[in-house]
Homo-oligomer: A and B are copies of this chain.
């Protein structure tokens, strides 16, 4: 290969993301300098955080630059190496973005062991989404046996792990997801105690029925009315891990109305970014890798084919059309 495709940010979204915000380019494969490696990406991870980076606003990270390759996590294989730490054929995870290939000096690459785990799992349950679930649950919600935890976007890459880890710790795990099919999967395959279909239109009543002893922990991925409904059911000293508010990413306002619950129930809420807690990744990945390898932690993937399909897959994920971890297969 002498050239490869990449997807750049063509323009910032005005409200909802549209395909025209992206542009596909074909660029030459560069010659490697000493210390560099060339990677052929096998999978690109699509994650909600990318939506925030497309905005030019003050946040935890610099915005994605216009005209540059869209940021993103990737797994792939070394196809050429001028770095003694990496050999051709090594499987690696990195942040090479929405691109079929990439060059790295190795600093942010990590070699992967694919003997017991599929390569794509390192972008999901045994990667950033899994560690996000692990961190929010164990470090912020700090669950105690017998408590009830509620997880929104329960069939997604993060939510699915939250509920399974909670069940393994002796908690009642209540999921919230969109549609009967996702809810059936959350209960029957992932083993949540119950899953509420927020699209059924009875969110408040269904949540009350699903949480007879109230709610002790919320792992929030969505925000908006789903979050407000949870706040109204919180027990004293409840904990809220604020991981995402995908309901608001497209510019929709997502106010919290039940603010007084924080006072009346002495709640704690903490927003977090998992990349700021690298010290805990080894511990989390050890638990997650072991659980996946032994079949005790299940996950599901939505796989789009080819870089050309990435914008539509990303837009669909923001609308909840994906089912499980959203990936793009690049080879």
Contact = CB atoms under 8 A, between A and B. Distances in A.
A276 B266 contact: yes
A248 interface: yes
* Majority DSSP secondary structure for residues of A touching B: loop
Interface in A25-75: 52, 57-60
B259 A248 contact: yes
A266 B273 contact: yes
Contacts of A276: 266
Interface residues of A, number: 32
A269 B264 contact: no
Interface stretch (A172-180, A249-257, A284-292): A249-257
A262 B269 contact: yes
Interface of A: 52, 57-60, 223, 236, 242-245, 248, 253-257, 259-260, 262-273, 276
Contacts of A255: 255-257, 259
The quantity of this chain's copies bound in the complex is: 2
A216 B168 CA distance: 37
B263 A267 contact: no
B236 A262 contact: no
Taking each of A245, A260, A267, which has the highest tally of chain B beta carbons within 10 Å of its own beta carbon?
A260
A253 B258 CA distance: 9
Contacts of A268: 268-271
A263 B236 contact: no
A57 B259 CA distance: 15
Contact of A259 (B60, B254, B265): B254
A124 to B, nearest CB: 21
Contact of A257 (B253, B262, B267): B253
A55 to B, nearest CB: 10
A60 B256 contact: no
Contacts of A253: 257
A60 B262 contact: no
Nearest to A227: B259
Nearest to A224: B259
